[in-house]
Amino acid sequence: MSGDVAAGAGREPFGARLAAAMADHGPLCVGIDPHPVLLADWGLTDDAAGLRTFARTVLDAVGGRVAAVKPQSALFERHGSAGVAVLEEVVAAGRETGTLVVVDAKRGDIGSTMAGYADAYLRDGSPLAGDALTVSPYLGFGSLDPAVDQALATGRGLFVLCLTSNKEGHEVQHARTEDGATVAASIAARAAALNAGLDPMGSIGLVVGATVGDAATRTGTDLTRVNGPLLAPGVGAQGAGQRELTQVFGAARRQVLASSSRGVLAAGPDVAALRTAARRAADEARAALA
């Protein structure tokens, strides 16, 4: 696939659009995570109506003011079809604000099932299709081919789980394949191959926790060659400052999109307070990634 405007989609590739949004608004992605505790803290009911008010409030506060928003699909899905309907509304509303929407669904499967997920979350005309999707490569990176093909054909992007900060992650990510490379390094290399030569960066990104320390070095994962966005939970107020980010990302820091959820959402439900918290988080991320 080329890095040109996707045929028939009428949009630039996701990597180019994200680079522009990060330059305009700072390297921050705000999560839209309607946890039951947060809904209660905001005085909202734990149902579809509460989800709708929560998500709309977040978008009113940050829409058009941050590089991206990231609705957590599971927290909508837990309410069944009514919750998924709200997620569809969030994707559409985010698009209306001009803010990139990363649907955090971490889908991963094989064959026609993966093709079905790609159709649901990446096809033009699907109500669940944002600008990018998080995916899991742990059935083999090649299992993601339907999602890769659909994303690149429509000018969308993927964020592939690579080095995550959960304590169980190393069991798979640090394991070595039959050629001696770690799983994480192999995932990064496959993403790099898909992004090779694209400017300002490709559309196949990775998820790399900002608090994983020297995991990239220990696993031989060369993030500087990925040439795609690096979605990084844990930046700024969440714990990782400039020193930690230098250790994790090194020269790849310019590609980092910091992800903040509760750090911003705790300021709600007041729209002005949410907006201030997001601006502060974006400034902290920009400074930490300088």
Which two tokens mark 7? 């045929």
CB 108 within 8 A of CB 116: no
- Nearest residue to 143 (alpha-carbon basis) of 189, 187, 197: 187
Q: Which H or E element spans position 204?
A: strand 204-208
Are the C-beta atoms of 128 and 88 separated by less than 8 Å?
Answer: yes
106 is catalytic: yes
Q: 160: closest CA among 177, 143, 175?
A: 143
Radius of gyration of the chain (CA): 18
Q: Spot the catalytic one: 35, 56, 106, 262.
A: 106
Length of the chain: 290
Host H or E run for residue 31: strand 28-32
The tokens describing 75, both together, are 């927290």
**Per DSSP, what are the bridge partners of residue 19?**
none
- Residues catalogued as catalytic: 106
